[in-house]
């Protein structure tokens, strides 16, 4: 228990993150996932120069890998459940959105969070066409989300290394 | 598989020994490749957590990936290298398996 890490979010951040991770789960369970380049990015070839070995490796590992991605994403969604919903029609919507919330993570949850945040970021990078470290499609609103995910991931890494 | 072969009587089949030799060939590598998305801090974290490397060693390998485009993170038998590659894929890193060049 002493290894637990506490992370802070504004509620609006937590609600957005839950939305993103929810979309990620939908993507993984989509019937077309096999042909989606973002899903392929999560299951890269282990043998780029050997098609037969690559196929064998993929057949042996791909389904398990995607199942673990879904399970870990579900852990993150459960941890974010307490963020509730934000109602923009509410008179206090702005204050509500900026309310701070804290989430306590045990080591198993930390591992799921790290991998899930990183995987969602990889999917966004694929959608944004980020092929190079100098690619900054700043006019695409999703790029802001991509950068924010990187920031949250850095924060989580920093928080766990202080333990 | 390799262990089973040592219990086989010599006349059973010569190719058992050959396949055991292949499985025990220690000259395979897990290679991690650079990509523009994974954060340096994340890659260091993965190397420390999964391989148990010191911060210094994990950082050295991360920098090798970053500057040279790739780094060998493990060497050994093929099956073990595939397990490492699978673990790296679990973390979202791009890892491949290859026979050590020149081995």
Digit-coded pLDDT (tens) for B12-22: 555 555 566 67
The reply to whether residue A154 touches residue B39, judged by beta carbons under 8 angstroms, is: yes
Question: For residue A106, what are the contacts with CB-CB under 8 A and spacing of at least 6?
Answer: A1, A3, A4
CA distance A106 to A1: 7
- For the cut 70, the answer to whether the pLDDT of residue B71 exceeds it is yes
Look up tokens 């096999």; give the residue: A34
Average pLDDT over residues B38-50: 96
* pLDDT reported for residue A94: 72
Q: What is the chain A residue with the closest CA to B87?
A: A65
Q: What is the chain A residue with the closest CA to B36?
A: A133
DSSP string for A61-87? HHHHHHHHHHHHHHHHHHHTGGG----
- For the cut 90, the answer to whether the pLDDT of residue A155 exceeds it is yes
Spell B7-44 as b/e; 16+ CB within 10 A means b.
eeeeeeeeebeeebeeeeeeebbbbbebbebbbebbbb
ipTM: 0.90
**Backbone phi, psi, residue B3, to 5°:** -65, -45
* pLDDT reported for residue B1: 43
Q: Identify the DSSP state of A43.
A: S
Residue A32 touches partner B, C-beta closer than 8 Å: no
* pLDDT reported for residue B90: 97
Residue A120 touches partner B, C-beta closer than 8 Å: no
Instruction: Give the 3-state secondary structure of residue B94.
Output: strand
Least CB–CB distance from B86: residue in A61, A154, A157:
A61
* pLDDT reported for residue B102: 85
* pLDDT reported for residue A69: 96
Residue A87 pLDDT class (50, 70, 90 cuts) = confident
Average pLDDT over residues B75-96: 97
Residue A157 touches partner B, C-beta closer than 8 Å: yes
Tens of pLDDT, residue by residue over A127-153, are 999 888 777 887 888 899 999 999 999
CA distance B94 to A129: 17
- The answer to whether A75 and A109 are in contact (CB under 8 A) is yes
Residue A93 pLDDT class (50, 70, 90 cuts) = confident
- Its pTM stands at 0.87
What the block records as the tokens of B14 is 């010569």
Tens of pLDDT, residue by residue over A27-83, are 999 877 778 999 999 999 999 999 999 999 999 999 999 999 999 999 999 999 987
* pLDDT reported for residue B17: 56
Least CB–CB distance from B36: residue in A46, A130, A153:
A130
- The answer to whether B27 and B99 are in contact (CB under 8 A) is yes
- Residue A156 CA, chain-centre distance (Å), reads 12
Least CB–CB distance from B36: residue in A114, A131, A154:
A131
């Amino acid at each position: 228990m002493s290894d637990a890490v506490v992370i802070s979010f504004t509620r609006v951040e937590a609600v957005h993150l839950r939305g993103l991770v929810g979309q990620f789960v939908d993507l993984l369970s989509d019937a077309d996932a096999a042909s989606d380049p973002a899903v392929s990015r999560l299951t890269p070839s282990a043998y780029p120069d050997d098609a037969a070995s690559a196929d064998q490796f993929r057949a042996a590992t791909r389904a398990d890998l995607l199942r673990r991605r879904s399970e870990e994403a579900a852990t993150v969604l459960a941890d974010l459940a307490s963020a509730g919903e934000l109602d923009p029609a509410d008179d206090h919507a702005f204050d509500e959105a900026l309310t701070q919330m804290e989430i306590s993570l045990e080591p198993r949850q930390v591992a799921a969070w790290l991998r899930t945040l990183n995987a969602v970021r990889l999917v966004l990078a694929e959608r944004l066409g980020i092929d190079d470290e100098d690619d900054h499609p700043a006019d695409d609103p999703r790029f802001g989300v991509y950068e924010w995910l990187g920031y949250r991931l850095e924060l989580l890494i920093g928080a766990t290394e202080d333990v | 598989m390799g262990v089973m072969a040592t219990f086989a009587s010599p006349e059973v089949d010569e190719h058992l020994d050959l396949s055991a030799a292949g499985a025990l060939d220690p000259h395979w590598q897990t290679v991690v490749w650079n990509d523009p998305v994974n954060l340096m801090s994340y890659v260091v974290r993965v190397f420390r957590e999964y391989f148990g490397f010191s911060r210094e060693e994990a950082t050295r390998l991360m920098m090798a990936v970053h500057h040279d485009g790739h780094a060998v993170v493990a060497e050994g038998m093929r099956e073990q290298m595939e397990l490492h590659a699978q673990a790296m894929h679990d973390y979202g890193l791009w890892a491949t398996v290859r026979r050590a060049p020149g081995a």
